[in-house]
Amino acid sequence: MSKTIFITGAGHGFGKETALGLAKAGHRVIASAQIWPQVWDLMEEAKKQDLKLEVIKLDLRDHIDRSRALTYDIDVLVNNAGIMESGPMAEIPVERVRESFETNVFCHLELTQGFVHKMIKQGHGKVVWISSVAGIRTTPFIGTYCATKHAIEAIAWAMKEELEPHGIKVATINPGPYLTGFNDTGAVSMLQWYDPEKDVIKLPDVRDVLLHQYNPQDMIDVMVKIIPADHHLYRTVNPKEMDDKLKQFQAGVWNAEI
């Protein structure tokens, strides 16, 4: 059955390709992008693929943009937009941490609250939080990003329990390291402020890690399938081989000594 789906962060990466994929599958998609050039590019891409796609500007930190977004009546909200700030937790400027929580957590929560109120009135709806494997495990030097995704995990699970009696479904999708460009730009974001003459924690060489990322089409196919589905697991981790790695990490935290 066709659904009306609103997705944030559709200007690039998973958001863009998933929005196009959902439209291709016959759903009504409202795809939001942060800046006008992204809006235009996505409109042009939809036109090129002969797809019906509604594209709007949504900078999550702009209350005017959020108000515009909330004029839509939807079946599914996909909280996909996000930023990654890297750097050691002992030295990353707290302003960067605040900005990450503002975009990844607080603004999405505010948008979600607005849509959930409408969903409760209509008696149905679904909220999909695009989390990450970083919401389950923590990786050094991207602790800020991991912290925002851990917060999303807590918010999503609480919402699931709170909204089930109202007919609203809540789920998470947890991608691993896929080659969309997001991890690459996030990894070097610390270079904007890091000063090797003053900061005492030596930065790691992440080049080898970035060379071993997965083909994003696999994740996009999963998202296009899961987002509109009525029944599936609460948490979708992909690639599936990450399941055991995440469980091993959590077991290691329980048994870790200092």
Q: What is the CATH number of the domain that holds 48?
A: 3.40.50.720
> Whose structure tokens read 């948490």?
235
CA separation for the pair 196, 47 (Å, rounded): 48
Q: Which two tokens stand for residue 187?
A: 């990894």
Closest CA to 148 of 234, 85, 92: 85
pLDDT at residue 25, as a whole number: 98
**pLDDT score recorded for residue 59:** 98
pTM recorded for the entire structure: 0.96
Known catalytic residue at 234 = no
Non-local CB neighbours of 194 within 8 Å, separated by 6+ positions: 87, 91, 203
pLDDT of residue 1: 86
Whether the upstream peptide bond of residue 177 has omega within 30° of 0, thus cis, is no
> Domain limits at 240?
4-255
End-to-end CA distance of the chain: 53
Q: Count the neighbouring beta carbons within 10 Å of the beta carbon of residue 153.
A: 18
Note the residue count of the chain.
258
Domain count, the chain: 1
Determine contact, residues 141/183, Cβ cutoff 8 Å.
no
CA distance linking residue 238 with residue 219, whole number of Å: 7
pLDDT score recorded for residue 239: 95
Could you say which of 145, 178, 214, 234 is catalytic?
145
Give me the average pLDDT of each 10-residue run along the chain (258 residues).
97 97 98 98 98 98 97 98 97 98 98 98 97 96 98 98 98 97 94 92 87 95 98 96 91 91
pLDDT computed for residue 205 by the predictor: 87
User: Cα 123 from chain centroid?
Assistant: 25
Q: Which two tokens stand for residue 13?
A: 């990466």
Residue at 29: amino acid letter:
V
